[in-house]
């Protein structure tokens, strides 16, 4: 089929064809591919130190590369790149279907995804499991299904099959995103010339406010993770003998954390971790709150209190809730060491307590500076002269910097609304996300003039990283068609 005029917007019949194609390719190819993918425990290196020996990451890389090559996209060049000592990356190039679109310096769309996964976590429903894919009621359950990006390849194929012209495309699929992407900067640097002149980045590793419209991610928080450890003894001793004389490592750890967080409110105390929220983000949060209402906070699996009433969030104001989870720094304790399981807890004063910290930072805060400041704050002047150490993940003072999207170009704003109306029957929504995608900050620094289309299938209750994670397949189908339509509109 000959390519149509690239200067014309996608017509209604073409949008309908894109939708039908996405529906078919998801049913016939993407769901089976993701089902196989879920079954492989390809945990990110942070959670599987022996990932090379286990071979699970190599397994999903081979499968994904084979899936892409099987699409028979004209001119596709794909390779698996392995820098020494680092996780592998899939890199592919697809020539433009527009006349003159492959000259040096031609506009390029960069597509991003990742294949590594979070660890298992407990609490899966009976009959469901982290590595046991289950497709039920349009939802594909299992670890990693929703936290991946097969749809970007289908979007290219959808355009080419309909003869809809598009720019040159390149793709980066990494395998250490869930570890903070420590290897990605080296690959981006090595591939910079081959990436070309990136004018649009398409990333499908983000979330959605609901399943009723296309959602564009406007910002991402940064993240500093690491282990805070307080050591007071070289070995455990009888608590009846030592308590009252030997200070508790847990009590010292609480005091140290009090330097960082107000335990009553959850507010982080260092002013350097805060920033002023841009006016346009507040306006967008206000508009999004009108769409989502109380579902902003009601969508979480709250436990009940002793009186049978629901556990309350930090705020029930939808606007404040949206800002809190996207532009405010927060601390989470995601793991603990030095404490035996309850069934093994004897009368022993433990020698140390260690917490895994996850510090989410506002989009503009530099991750490296935040990690260095956190280490100094926690380690200096330890109570009782205890041995207090904070070790940031990745070695040294490292952290992932967040991202605030550049202003939308008129063509992109128009394309997003047109695509959302065509495939969802509703306008595009705009929402910040509290998670982190390190690539976005890297690419924005490397290509400051590029536009960013960050979206994804992680909608309400999809529970990425937790138990019962699922991918909303009907939404994935519409998202694929919408992404294809926006790609066609890229100048």
Q: Which domains does the chain have, with CATH numbers?
A: 12-221+403-489 (3.40.630.10), 222-276+314-392 (3.30.70.360)
The model's pTM is 0.90
Dihedral angle over CA of 439, 444, 447, 448, nearest 10: 180
Q: Are 5 and 146 in contact (CB under 8 A)?
A: no
Count of CB atoms situated within 10 Å of the CB of 91: 20
Beta pairing partners, 248: none
pLDDT, tens digit (0-9, with 9 covering 90-100), for 251-283: 999 999 999 999 999 999 999 999 999 999 999
Which residues, in sequence order, are CB contacts of 116 under 8 Å at separation 6+?
A: 42, 43, 44, 45, 57, 87, 174, 175, 176, 177, 178, 179
Whether the per-residue pLDDT at 190 is higher than 70: the answer is yes
pLDDT range class, residue 101, cuts 50, 70, 90 = low
**What is the number of residues in the chain?**
491
pLDDT, tens digit (0-9, with 9 covering 90-100), for 329-347: 999 999 999 999 999 999 9
> In angstroms, what is the C-alpha Rg of the chain?
24
In this prediction, residue 98 carries a pLDDT of 86
pLDDT, tens digit (0-9, with 9 covering 90-100), for 141-183: 999 988 876 777 789 999 999 999 999 999 999 999 998 888 9
pLDDT range class, residue 389, cuts 50, 70, 90 = very high
Q: Which two tokens stand for residue 31?
A: 């769901």
CA–CA gap between residue 143 and residue 332 (Å, rounded): 21
To 10 degrees, what angle do helices 410-424 and 473-489 make?
140
CA–CA gap between residue 353 and residue 335 (Å, rounded): 11
Whether the per-residue pLDDT at 358 is higher than 80: the answer is yes
Q: Are 370 and 400 in contact (CB under 8 A)?
A: no
């Amino acid at each position: 089929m000959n390519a149509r005029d690239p200067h014309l917007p996608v017509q209604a019949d073409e949008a309908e064809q894109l939708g039908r194609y996405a529906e078919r390719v998801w049913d016939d190819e993407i769901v089976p591919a993701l089902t196989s993918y879920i079954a492989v425990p390809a945990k990110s290196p942070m959670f599987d130190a022996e990932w090379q020996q286990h071979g699970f990451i190599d397994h999903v890389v081979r499968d994904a590369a084979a899936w892409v090559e099987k699409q028979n996209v004209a001119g596709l060049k794909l390779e698996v790149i392995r820098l020494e000592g680092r996780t592998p990356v899939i890199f592919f190039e697809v020539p433009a279907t527009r006349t003159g679109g492959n000259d040096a310096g031609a506009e390029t769309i960069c597509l991003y995804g990742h294949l590594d996964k979070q660890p298992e976590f407990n609490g899966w429903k009976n009959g469901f499991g982290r590595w046991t894919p289950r497709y039920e009621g349009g939802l594909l359950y299992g670890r990693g299904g929703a936290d991946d990006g097969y749809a970007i390849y289908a979007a290219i194929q959808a355009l080419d099959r309909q003869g809809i012209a598009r720019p040159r495309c390149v793709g980066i699929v990494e395998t250490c995103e869930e570890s903070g992407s420590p290897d990605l900067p080296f690959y981006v640097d090595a591939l910079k010339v081959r990436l070309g002149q990136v004018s649009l980045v398409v990333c499908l590793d983000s979330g959605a406010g609901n399943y009723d419209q296309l959602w564009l991610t406007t910002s991402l928080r940064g993240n500093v993770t690491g282990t805070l450890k307080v050591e007071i003894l070289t070995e455990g001793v009888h608590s009846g003998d030592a308590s009252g004389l030997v200070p508790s490592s847990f009590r010292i750890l609480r005091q140290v954390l009090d330097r960082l967080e107000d335990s009553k409110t959850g507010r982080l105390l260092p002013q350097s971790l805060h920033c002023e929220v841009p006016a346009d983000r507040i306006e967008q949060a206000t508009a999004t709150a009108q769409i989502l209402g109380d579902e902003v906070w009601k969508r979480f699996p709250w436990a009940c209190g002793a009186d049978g009433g629901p556990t309350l969030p930090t705020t029930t104001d939808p606007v404040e809730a949206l800002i809190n989870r996207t532009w405010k720094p927060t601390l989470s304790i995601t793991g603990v060491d030095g404490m035996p399981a309850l069934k093994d807890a004897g009368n022993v004063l433990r020698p140390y307590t260690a917490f895994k910290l996850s510090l989410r930072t506002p989009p503009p805060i530099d991750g490296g500076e935040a990690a260095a400041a956190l280490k100094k704050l926690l380690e200096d002047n330890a109570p009782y002269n205890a041995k207090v150490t904070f070790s940031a993940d990745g070695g040294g003072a490292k952290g992932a910097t967040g991202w605030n999207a550049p202003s939308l170009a008129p063509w992109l704003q128009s394309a997003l609304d047109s695509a959302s109306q065509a495939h969802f029957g509703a306008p595009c929504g705009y929402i910040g996300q509290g998670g982190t995608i390190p690539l976005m900050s890297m690419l924005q620094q490397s290509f400051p003039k590029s536009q960013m289309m960050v979206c994804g299938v992680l909608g309400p209750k999809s529970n990425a990283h937790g138990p019962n994670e699922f991918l909303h397949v009907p939404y994935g189908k519409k998202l694929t068609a919408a992404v294809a339509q926006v790609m066609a509109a890229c100048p």
